Amino acid sequence: MVERIPILKMGNFLLLSIQVDMHDQLALDLQEDLTAQIVKHRSRGVLIDISALEIVDSFIGRMLSHIAQVSRILDAKVIVVGMQPAVAITLVELGLSLEGIATALNVEKGMRRLEKMVDDDMILEPESGEARDISVEAGD
Amino acid sequence: MGKRETFPLKQETDIVLIRQRVRKYAEEAKLGIVSQTKIVTAASEIARNALIYGGGGECVVEACSRDGRSAVYLCISDSGAGIADIDRAMVDGYTSGSGLGLGLSGAKRLVDAFAIDSAPGQGTRVELWKWR
What's residue A123's pLDDT? 81
Total structural domains within chain B:
1
- Domains of chain A by range and CATH? 8-138 (3.30.750.24)
What are the chain B neighbours of A90 within 8 Å (beta carbons)?
34, 37-38, 41, 110
CATH number, domain of B65, equals 3.30.565.10
Residue type at position B76: I
Give tens-digit pLDDT for A72-84.
999 999 999 999 9
**How many CB atoms are closer than 10 A to CB B100?**
18
| Residue B22: domain span | 4-131
Angstroms from A59 CA to nearest CA on chain B:
8
Find the residue in A nearest to B43 (Cα): A57
Q: Which residues contact B87 (CB under 8 A, 6 or more apart)?
A: none
Residues B129, B132: Cα–Cα separation, whole Å: 10
- Cα B124 → chain centroid: 11
According to DSSP, residue A54 is labeled S
DSSP H/E element including B21: helix B12-28
- List the beta bridge partners of residue B70: B65
What's residue A140's pLDDT? 47
Q: Which residues of chain A have pLDDT under 70?
A: 1-2, 126-140
Strand, helix or coil at B91? Answer: coil
How many beta-carbon contacts under 8 Å exist across A and B?
72
A66 touches A34 (CB < 8 A): no
Give tens-digit pLDDT for B19-58.
999 999 999 999 999 999 999 999 999 999 999 999 999 9
**A90–B12: do the CB atoms touch at under 8 Å?**
no
From B20, B102, B109, residue closest to A58, measured CB to CB = B102
B→A contacts (Cβ < 8 Å), by residue, are: 12-13, 15-16, 19-20, 23, 33-34, 36-38, 40-41, 44-45, 48, 92, 99-100, 102-103, 105-107, 109-110
Residues B129, B115: Cα–Cα separation, whole Å: 9
**A1–B13: do the CB atoms touch at under 8 Å?**
yes
Strand, helix or coil at B104? Answer: helix
